[in-house]
Structure 1
């Protein structure tokens, strides 16, 4: 086990939360976009992620046997696009279909703001955790120098 595993885990969490904030900001920016280059309205995006596991390669670790998996942060598995339909009847709108319905983006501004605040708080918690990690490593170096 490396002494830098804690920092690597924090770094993966920081990168994930930054990507989530960027994705949320894109959703907010497109809350009124009814026409995209791909055609149709903007579709809400969300970041999919999972625990990042890695194989333990040597049996030298007293806590784990060789071949077992150990956590090493998080990883992004993809960005999902919500396909929920949101329609508004407006026959005079230039974006209306043949039945007079406008296909609207499926972005809820209140939900996006909650997601943004949650990502911000999680990012701040990761920063605090990495600072504590650095302090621990610094104290360990002080102890080993004596």
Structure 2
């Protein structure tokens, strides 16, 4: 039973690591939501997305979640009229990042809930291991 609990803790720990990276990427996206290019016509900040993958740990035989890669979102940039901006083209239009704050908030909330669920799993497994050790001592 201890091996199964240790495996559960290992899976949950990999989930914590993955969601932590996801939260970092979402925070970076939100911080750069207004980052335009520095020269006329240059591209602004491009939103980043996290791709997950399932990896089999041969030592324990369990599948863990890992970050496959952090990639950029290929969606189009929006344009805003701001002739005073250094990144404005000859028509006064500035390319704005493809970051949607509502989507980022939803991603942040989902990552936060997943993080909390994985943390709760680790706490429960640790408690079960402690209870098992207590029963063996009796």
TM-score (normalised: structure 1): 0.79
Partner SS state of residue 43, structure 1: coil
Structure 1 Cα separation of the partners of residues 133 and 96 of structure 2: 58
2:68 to 74, 77, 87: 77
Of residues 20, 41, 46 in structure 2, which corresponds to 1:43? 46
Give the TM-score of the pair, scaled to structure 2. Answer: 0.83
Q: Which residue, 28, 31, 40 being the options, matches 1:29?
A: 31
- In the alignment, the residues of structure 1 paired with residue 122 and residue 28 of structure 2 have an alpha-carbon distance, to the nearest angstrom, of 28
Runs of 4 or more, structure 1, over 6 Å off, are none
Structure 1 residues 136 and 91: alpha-carbon distance in aligned structure 2, compared to 1, 3 A threshold = closer
Superposed CA RMSD: 2.2
Structure-to-structure mapping, 1:1-146, within 5 angstroms: 2=3, 3-35=5-37, 40-55=43-58, 70-88=61-79, 90=81, 92=83, 93-98=85-90, 100-146=92-138
Unaligned runs of 5+ in 1: 58-69
* CA drift at 1:89: 5.0
Is the helix fraction higher in 1 or 2?
2
Gaps of 5+ in 2: none
